[in-house]
Amino acid sequence: MNSKILIVIGTIIIIIAISGVYYAQLNNEEIIKRKAVQDVSDSDIQKKIEPNIPASLFRMIVSEDDYIINNGIKIWSNAEFELKPEFADLYDDIGITNNPQNTIVILPTFTAMAYSENGFYSYYKQECDTNCLTVEIDSYQLGYHGSDNAVKVLKLLGYSFVTDVDVDKNPNILSKYDKIILLHNEYVTRNEFDAITNHHKVIYLYPNALYAEIKTNYDKNTITLVRGHNYPIPEIKNGFDWKFDNTVFEYDIECKDMYFYNIANGFMLNCYPEHMIYKNKVLLKAIKEF
């Protein structure tokens, strides 16, 4: 066969191969972005809706007047969730109780402490001096800023948990797991930051995670803000100078255009899912499948 013809054929084969790789990458990105775009609230599977409560995959137990309004959206406070017997097959699909995974969720306990009364946010609001930047490690309520709804839902679906304290004291604990699910862990220690960002697969389920550095003093049982969130100088935003910081998405709580996107060691969600984690089967299925 003529050498020129062989060169032409070889060139065509290379072009086709390159195109195939690009097409595969493009489709993979599209799949990732589309994994969490549908809400179950108007799906056929949602047959029964609790009185006066948004469509939910779980039975919700709330106090009638216990909610906050965030950007015009009602978000229930201190909600409790129970499995619905009629959704048993769905829970198998979106949960891991009967399909175990080597996955761990990190409870944002340091963040819950930072948001506690007379904590960091009292300082930010200029209601107290820097004394409020040291908070006791004690009992806490996760609440809206501590991803309370996500914690309760993921527990019902079979996921296991460790706390920020667990990871700070023993960063190597994360290496035992194939996948890490991070919530609104806004305030973390350097030990924790390094352990999380060096893990090979992390699902960053809430924006604004890993935003500010704190230090712990287990003798005094306290955490103290070190750097970040405009401290110690206003110009400092992310305390770790983390290039993947996605705080810009923190205030999108409607999640109308919701998708995951790739970063170096995992996937990030582009909105704050606290008010809809309990009613979006596609989001929960995506968390399981990553």
Confidence of residue 206 (pLDDT cuts 50, 70, 90): very high
Q: Which of 278, 216, 204, 277 is nearest to 242 (CA)?
A: 204
Q: Which domain holds residue 30?
A: 1-34
pLDDT surpassing 90 at residue 73:
no
Per 3-state DSSP, what percentage of the chain is helix, strand, and coil (rounded to 5)? 35, 20, 45
pLDDT at 216: 98
Report yes or no: 262 and 29 within 8 Å, Cβ to Cβ. Answer: yes
Q: Does residue 175 fall inside a structural domain?
A: yes
Q: Are residues 8 and 100 in the same domain?
A: no
Q: Does residue 65 fall inside a structural domain?
A: no
pLDDT at 9: 43
pLDDT surpassing 60 at residue 49:
no
pLDDT at 77: 77
Provide the pairing of β-strand 179-182 with 103-107: parallel
247-278 burial code (b ≥16 CB/10 A, e <16): bebbebbebeebbbeeeeebbbbbbbbbbbbb
Confidence of residue 238 (pLDDT cuts 50, 70, 90): very high
Indicate the burial class of 90 (C-beta count within 10 angstroms; 0-12, 13-18, 19 or more): middle
Q: Are residues 151 and 285 in the same domain?
A: yes
pLDDT surpassing 80 at residue 36:
no
Residue 53 Rama label (left phi>0; alpha psi -120 to 50; beta): beta
HSE at residue 160, side-chain half, CA atoms within 13 A, is 11
Q: Does residue 129 fall inside a structural domain?
A: yes
pLDDT surpassing 90 at residue 119:
yes
Q: Are residues 168 and 282 in the same domain?
A: yes
Average pLDDT over every residue of 120-139: 93
Q: Does residue 85 fall inside a structural domain?
A: no
Q: Are residues 120 and 254 in the same domain?
A: yes
Q: Which of 237, 270, 222, 231 is nearest to 118 (CA)?
A: 222
Q: Are residues 114 and 213 in the same domain?
A: yes
pLDDT at 176: 97
- For 172-203, write each residue's pLDDT tens digit: 999 999 999 999 999 999 999 999 999 999 99
Report yes or no: 139 and 224 within 8 Å, Cβ to Cβ. Answer: no
Average pLDDT over every residue of 154-179: 98
Number of structural domains, the chain? 2
Q: Does residue 39 fall inside a structural domain?
A: no
Q: Are residues 5 and 126 in the same domain?
A: no
Q: Does residue 158 fall inside a structural domain?
A: yes
Q: Are residues 30 and 114 in the same domain?
A: no
User: What contacts 276, CB < 8 A, 6 or more positions away?
Assistant: 39, 255, 283
Q: Are residues 7 and 131 in the same domain?
A: no
Q: Does residue 82 fall inside a structural domain?
A: no
CA angle (207 as vertex; 173, 225 as ends), nearest 5: 65
What is this structure's pTM?
0.81
Q: Are residues 229 and 122 in the same domain?
A: yes
Q: Are residues 280 and 170 in the same domain?
A: yes
Mean pLDDT for the chain? 84
Poorest-confidence range of 28-37, 80-89, 230-239?
Answer: 28-37
Q: Are residues 8 and 108 in the same domain?
A: no
Q: Are residues 24 and 129 in the same domain?
A: no
Distance, in Å, from the CA atom of 193 to the CA atom of 163, rounded to the nearest integer, reads 13
